[in-house]
Amino acid sequence: METKELIKGLGELFGVELQLDEDGVCAFAADELTITIRDLPEAGIVVLSGDLGEPPPMGLEKLYQAMLESQYLFKHTHGATFSRNPENGRFALCKPLEISLLDVKSFVAEAESFVNTVETWAKVIRDYRGTVASETAEDPTLEPTADLDRGDFLRV
């Protein structure tokens, strides 16, 4: 199946027209988040990426540790990986999907799961920024207060 068809099916679910631009990119808003779909036909994949927000001004070591540990074996990122956008310095979550294994139904399910994961991690980072801003110590702590195996994430 072609990426164009997958994106069209996703747009129908959201009740909007979605399509790839001339660069093979489609961006849309999900709540207050920007989700981008990038078609990479030469690699046989489509990549979902979501903006997670700006890193906090300090205390990054604990946040990076939490992110990396949560990404271990993709357990708490549901197959996605963290990165930092070199153009704007913001955190992102990216998930490649093999086009040959997708149909509209599976792509929509992957996209919905990805959006939920992005929403969760954007909140973790936003809350962490608030914690850092409100603390006088330069080393805020992250405390896992939820059962991460259930799909819940760190609360800061």
Number of domains present in the structure of the chain: 1
Q: How far apart are CA 53 and CA 127, in angstroms?
A: 11
On whether residue 155 sits in a domain, the answer given is no
Residue 75 vs residue 133, higher pLDDT: 75
The conformational region for residue 82 under phi > 0 = left, psi -120 to 50 = alpha, else beta, is beta
Residue 92, Cβ density class (10 Å: 0-12 exposed, 13-18 middle, ≥19 buried): buried
Residue 38: domain span: 3-150
The share of the chain scoring above pLDDT 70, in percent, equals: 83
Express each pLDDT in 110-124 by its tens digit.
Answer: 999 999 999 999 999
Q: Rounded to two decimals, what is the model's pTM?
A: 0.81
The domain that holds 51 is classified in CATH as 3.30.1460.10
DSSP letters along 40-92, please?
Answer: ETTTTEEEEEEEEEPPPSS-HHHHHHHHHHHHGGGTTTTT-EEEE-TTT--EE
Query: For 25-60, how does the pLDDT look when each residue is reduced to its tens digit (9 = 90+)?
Result: 999 988 889 999 999 999 999 999 999 999 888 878
